Chains A and B, each alone.
Chain A
Amino acid sequence: MTGATAAVMVAMLPSSVSASDDEVRRSGPCSGKADWEMRAKWDESERIELRGRVEHTRSGQIWTWKIKHNGSVSAQGRAVTRSGGFEVRRALVDLAGVDHCVFRAERVKTGEVCRGRIEW
């Protein structure tokens, strides 16, 4: 799937979107005070490099996160915020058709949820 096609599909989503031929960004608010940001782009191995970020939090908060690819879990883990947030990067295989990529993060203590989605 080309970057231009991906940009068109992202443009149909309600949250904040920016796209170019090689990169797609999306951001939005979480269910609490934090914000999330997602970015997808090609890496050197022709994989989709997906970055998920949670911002505007206090340091030391514990979050769990999960990346889903076409509905199945591609990666997951726990993170502790530093300098107001955290980010994770994972490479996803570019499969035939549209790749549905979802980044979801949840603060362990409060249950605040951040969820973003990119169609690549």
Chain B
Amino acid sequence: MRLLRNPVAQYLTLAVLLFIVLSVAASILSARVAADEASADARALTRVLARSVAQPAIPRGLVDGEAGAIDKLDRQVLDRLLVGDVRRVKIWRGDGTILYSDESKLIGARYPLDAEETDVLENGGTEAEVSDLAEPENRFENDAEGLVEVYTRIRSPEGEPILFEVYYSADDLAARRSAVFAPIQRITVGGLLAMLVIATPIIWVLTRRLTRTARERERLLRASMTASEAERRRIARDLHDGVVQDLAGTAFSLTAVGRDSRVPDELRDDLHNAGQSLRTSLKALRSLLVSIHPPDLHADGLAAALTDLTAPAATHQIESSVDVGDIGRVSDDTVALVWRVAQEAVRNAIRHARASTLEVDVHRRQERLVLRVVDDGQGFDPEGDRDPASFGLRGLASLVTDAGGRLDVRSTPGEGTEVRMEVAIK
């Protein structure tokens, strides 16, 4: 299967299929053209023999079957008629009598002409057909490959139309057809093969280059993400160890001072309010820290981490709930992926959905982990203009795909949004 995804293998498969299809098609068409060409050659040669050799040499009396006329014609043209692929020559009278043939035993015999021959005799033209060697007029033919007969009309000196018929060896015609066909086939098949041979290494080199580029881009992306992760971790740690601790200490001190009896009553309320304000800010800061960098996530702590994620929903009057089922042993990487997708989906819901409820649900389905983030907000058209808020999810989708999972966003305007991720448990 992996081999089939290889672009070079795909190209070669398609190219070979195309090559076979084109070769067969080219062969069929070329053979047809070559056959037509060979037939046309035979017709042309027959016409030349008829008009230029036979007709001028036909003596008076031949049409009446005079032996002297037969002798004259035989002496004058036999050597000039039996040229090249010509195997037999016959000259017919309209009543089917063979007036002349190089096979003398046929001269004077009578065989009725068929419809095509009669048509040519009456209307002219040149026709070709495969000879039926079973017919008595062809009893002297023993060409194993068969014969092709071509006939045309000529006229005797007396003005009577007679049929001039030449028999060619089908084998010779096939050889001539091959002679025409072979160069066409060589050009077609050779061209395709040459294209295949030239294009394959180019495709291979381009594919390798693209693969290398993709790997490099992926490496840079991972490096960038790692660097960003480290920076976020450092900022979160500094905030947690510095500002958060200081604010916590200050809030604690304010509370303690406010309880001191020496503090005038008119200041006690102010101190209490300042301490309350500090604790609110501290809570917001801790949520921000969670957003900046997730805590060290494990399967056991996923429910708590997701609850922290949804905590800001309350400030937007969104009722949120988190339900994490018994997911068993799940790798930290998979848990981190679930958390990251949930973070993006929850953030989008809080910022853009105008929802009143938000549900985060994680459960195990056989060997896959399923995350659902569902809100009842205004929704959007997933096929419409891209919502800038969805870009983060689209970016995460590639991470999910890399992990062997899939991420779907289902939404309809006015009917809320569901973000669903399925990933294999590692």
Contacts and interface: CB of A to CB of B under 8 A. Distances in A.
Interface in A46-90: 46-47, 68-75, 90
A72 B104 contact: no
Nearest to B106: A96
A45 interface: yes
> Which range holds the interface residue count of chain B?
10 to 19
Interface in B277-309: none
A95 interface: yes
B331 to A, nearest CB: 99
A91 B61 contact: no
A118 B148 CA distance: 39
A67 B229 CA distance: 120
Nearest to A45: B78
Contacts of B108: 95-96
Contact of B104 (A69, A70, A71, A93): A93
Contact of B67 (A46, A47, A71, A91): A71
Contact of A90 (B67, B71, B107): B71
A35 interface: no
B74 A70 contact: no
Contacts of B109: 96
B192 to A, nearest CB: 51
Contact of B68 (A73, A94, A96): A73
Contacts of B78: 45
Interface in B46-103: 61, 66-72, 74-75, 78
A58 B75 CA distance: 31
A94 B78 CA distance: 14
A74 B72 contact: yes
Given A45-B78, A72-B61, A72-B66, A92 B105 contact: no
A96 B107 contact: yes
Contact of B72 (A68, A70, A75, A99): A75
Which of A47, A73, A75, A94 lies at the interface centre, i.e. has the most chain B CB atoms within 10 A of its CB?
A73
Contacts of B61: 72
Contacts of A90: 71, 75
A90 B69 CA distance: 13
A93 B62 CA distance: 13
Main secondary structure of the interface of B (DSSP, over half): helix
B67 A72 contact: yes
Contact of B74 (A68, A73, A91): A91
A72 B69 CA distance: 8
Contacts of B70: 69, 93, 95
A89 B304 CA distance: 127
Contacts of A71: 67
A73 B72 CA distance: 9
Contacts of A72: 61, 66-69
Given A72-B61, A95-B107, A96-B108, A47 B68 contact: no
A15 B67 CA distance: 25
Contact of B105 (A45, A69, A96, A99): A96
A71 to B, nearest CB: 7
A69 B75 CA distance: 14
B68 A69 contact: yes
A91 B75 contact: yes
Nearest to B105: A96
Contact of A68 (B68, B104, B105): B68
A34 to B, nearest CB: 25
Contacts of A92: 67, 71
Contacts of A70: 66-68
B71 A93 contact: yes
A45 B61 CA distance: 23
A47 B66 contact: no
Interface string A19-43: 0000000000000000000000000
Given A91-B71, A96-B108, 5 more contacts: A71-B67, A74-B68, A95-B67, A96-B105, A96-B107
9 contacts: A68-B68, A72-B66, A72-B68, A94-B104, A95-B104, A95-B108, A96-B105, A96-B109, A99-B67
Interface of A: 45-47, 68-75, 90-96, 99
Q: Which 4 A-B pairs have the closest CB atoms?
A: A72-B68, A70-B67, A74-B68, A74-B71
